[in-house]
Structure 1
Amino acid sequence: MDRALLVIDVQESFRRRPAWEAVSDPGVADKAARLVDAARAAGDLVVWVLHAEPGSGTPFDPPLGHVRLIDGLDPADGEPVLVKTSRNAFTTTSLHRTLTAAGVREVVICGIQTEQCCETTARLAADLGFQVTFVTDATATFPIPHRDAPPDRPLAEVLADPRTLPVGAVIDRTEYALAGRFATLASVDDLAPARRPVG
């Protein structure tokens, strides 16, 4: 087993935020599930990662019950489920040790958010010596408000602001930053056959 699929933060927390209405791909869980099926069929390790912000009172606060995989995504016996409190999946978990112990040399990355937890994990994985495949169309993200915009504005105001970075631009910038430097880009169709929808 020299390859692992990292399924990063495909969790209910995101669906509990108003920004979910503007997510780049509401079907990201279906695409992750296709990659999981393909990884299992190939005998690859599947590692599930969840993001938690204890004490925040947000949907990422574990006692609220949303720090769980989106329905239809189910870890198999022996598949690690790690909970992180940093943006990348390595710093606050045992991921590096888990991958090394399993003999993994390549990681395939999917999940939420494209330019945050997924991209930062890809960059760190490359720095740690792993070969990285980034499945951009199996990641999802949200519009990014301008850095000078007031915080906590309603979603409608964020979307109406011409300074807001739209999801397509976020995804493009991530691909430009990763390709040829930190990762090889791939699509779900490159790696997995079609499957039934999640849910």
Structure 2
Amino acid sequence: MKKALLLIDMQKGFLGSQWPERNNPQAEEKMLTVLEHFRESGEEVIHICHKSRLAEDSFYKESDRAFMEGFEPLDGEVIFEKTVNSAFIGTDLESYLQKQGISDLVILGLTLPHCVSTTTRMAANLGFTVVLLSDATASFALPDLWGQTIDPELLHQINLASLDGEFAQVMTVEQYLNS
């Protein structure tokens, strides 16, 4: 059983003021704790980077695609660029994991209702054992079908509940590091 950390979309584009209200302001701090743990233990760290094909998308600009401070890949850490929500579509991630003998994934990053959830679901469907760290991801408020705003914490909890047990074991960073 070999495991890897998947850091999803830790890019400067998510720091912009164009985004609506977000939950979990400590998410990046928690993510850095897990990243440091993986690096210190010599376990595999894999960075997933969103590179949109749409000119109007904020991630089209090179500066927005850059990694946030502290999340820059170190030498030897692999980067996969994706153009859709799943880190498995249009990339060699699945074959890379198989070649490396990696069966277990610890997933964190931005944002839970989109790329984190989609990648988590696909990883489980492809046969990987997944741990999703609930407090090392975050959600932005979204409009519902009637134009009302869905609270980001409610949205976060609903996504975690829909993933736990079926697609991943959802844990806090503290639970994971103490397990």
Same topology, TM > 0.5: yes
Count of residue pairs brought into register by the alignment:
178
**Corresponding position of 1:42:** 41
After the TM superposition, list the runs of 4 or more consecutive aligned residues in structure 1 that deviate by more than 3 angstroms.
none
Q: Any gaps of 5 or more consecutive residues in structure 2?
A: none
Contact 1:35–1:191 (CA under 8 A) maintained in structure 2: no
Matched AA of 1:134: L
Q: Determine helix, strand or coil for the equivalent of 2:106.
A: strand
Q: Determine helix, strand or coil for the equivalent of 1:185.
A: strand
Larger CA Rg, structure 1 vs 2: 1
**Corresponding position of 1:165:** 150
CA RMSD of aligned residues (A): 1.7
Shift of the 185–29 alpha-carbon distance from structure 1 to 2, 3 Å rule, reads: same
Matched AA of 1:4: A
**Corresponding position of 1:61:** 60
Looking at structure 1, the residues matched to 67 and 131 of structure 2 have their Cα atoms a distance apart, in angstroms, of 22
Alpha-carbon distance, 1:96 to partner: 0.7
Q: Any gaps of 5 or more consecutive residues in structure 1?
A: 150-162, 194-199
Looking at structure 2, the residues matched to 13 and 131 of structure 1 have their Cα atoms a distance apart, in angstroms, of 29
Q: Determine helix, strand or coil for the equivalent of 2:73.
A: coil
Matched AA of 2:79: V
Contact 2:6–2:107 (CA under 8 A) maintained in structure 1: yes
Shift of the 174–17 alpha-carbon distance from structure 1 to 2, 3 Å rule, reads: same
Contact 2:47–2:73 (CA under 8 A) maintained in structure 1: yes
**Corresponding position of 2:135:** 137
**Corresponding position of 1:152:** none
Q: Share of identical aligned residues, percent?
A: 30
Alpha-carbon distance, 1:25 to partner: 2.6
**Corresponding position of 1:125:** 123
